[in-house]
């Protein structure tokens, strides 16, 4: 569709999804949230795609937030539904059985930071700035910001970013654990695509097992988490990829994984 708010391009087993509203700093309106949900459903269903990269068009913003012009027109019940719509999209990304990397090329504020935090890994350009500024509009985060910041960076950082509403730079975000890596802006795409290619070459079923274990372990007690890990560990021994990986190691060669 020519009027889609997204650009989608495949590079071997890596799909790059770009929010393409640069005139709005890639702000998330309802249509964009729905398009993202559909795009990541397609990633989940496509066996040829092993990794996804999510970014924003233009040099200024990853996603600068939710679309305030659209949001300002909402009645309370509509606002609740908009929040649910956003959370549905974030959860679709967060629960994807394939790794998703956020390539944070500029501002990631409000819904933009919430979108980045829903991804499994985040690489930021040195000039990127992230934050939850909703307090400045008399609002609170609505797409999961309070919950994911708490889990990623801890209570103190979550309260600091949400209560004060001031953005922080990429170096501070790295220190807090909100992003995984910070690189020069000129190297951002190359570094991100290199990481995506590394993940795409890994065993897909093992990747999925790790994603599942971390997701489950983050929401349960240690004994339940360990039991789940043990079950997933055992399941990997039923895969052809496990046989290939161990044989390749013993034969001192690079393994070739096929997701079986």
134 assigned to active site: yes
Distance CA 215, CA 46 (A): 22
- Which one of the listed residues 94, 114, 191, 223 is annotated catalytic? 114
What is the 3-state composition of the chain as percent helix, strand, coil, each rounded to the nearest 5?
Answer: 55, 15, 30
Q: Which structure tokens are listed for 88?
A: 């549905």
Q: Is residue 224 annotated as a catalytic residue, yes or no? A: no
Task: Point out the catalytic residue in the list 134, 219, 223, 224.
Answer: 134
Q: Which of 214, 8, 7, 16 is nearest to 100 (CA)?
A: 16
Q: How far apart are CA 202 and CA 189, in angstroms?
A: 20
Please state whether beta strands 107-109 and 129-131 pair in parallel, antiparallel, or not at all (unpaired): parallel
Spell out the residues 6+ positions from residue 184 whose beta carbon is closer than 8 angstroms to its own. 125, 126
Cα–Cα distance, 167 to 206 (Å, whole number): 36
* Residue positions annotated with a catalytic role: 114, 134
């Amino acid at each position: 569709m020519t009027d889609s708010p997204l650009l989608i391009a495949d590079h071997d087993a890596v799909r790059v999804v770009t929010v393409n509203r640069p005139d709005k700093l890639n702000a998330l309106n309802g249509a964009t949230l729905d398009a993202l949900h559909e795009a990541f459903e397609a990633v989940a269903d496509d066996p040829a795609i092993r990794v996804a990269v999510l970014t924003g068009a233009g040099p200024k913003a990853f996603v600068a937030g939710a679309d305030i012009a659209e949001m300002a027109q909402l009645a309370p019940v509509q606002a609740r539904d908009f929040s649910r719509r956003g959370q549905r999209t974030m959860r679709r990304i967060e629960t994807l059985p394939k790794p998703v990397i956020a390539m944070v090329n500029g501002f990631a504020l409000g819904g933009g930071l919430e979108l980045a935090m829903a991804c499994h890994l985040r690489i930021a350009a040195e000039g990127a700035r992230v934050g939850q500024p909703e307090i400045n509009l008399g609002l609170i985060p609505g797409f999961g910001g309070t919950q994911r910041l708490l889990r990623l960076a801890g209570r103190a950082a979550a309260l600091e970013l949400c209560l004060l509403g001031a953005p922080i730079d990429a170096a501070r975000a790295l220190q807090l654990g909100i992003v995984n890596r910070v690189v020069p802006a000129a190297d951002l795409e190359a570094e991100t695509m290199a990481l995506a290619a590394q993940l795409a070459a890994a065993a897909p079923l093992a990747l999925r097992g790790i994603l599942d274990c971390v997701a489950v372990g983050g929401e349960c007690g240690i004994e339940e988490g360990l039991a789940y890990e043990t079950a997933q560990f055992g399941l990997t021994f039923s895969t052809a990829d496990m046989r290939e990986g161990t044989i390749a190691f013993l034969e001192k060669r690079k393994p070739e994984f096929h997701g079986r």
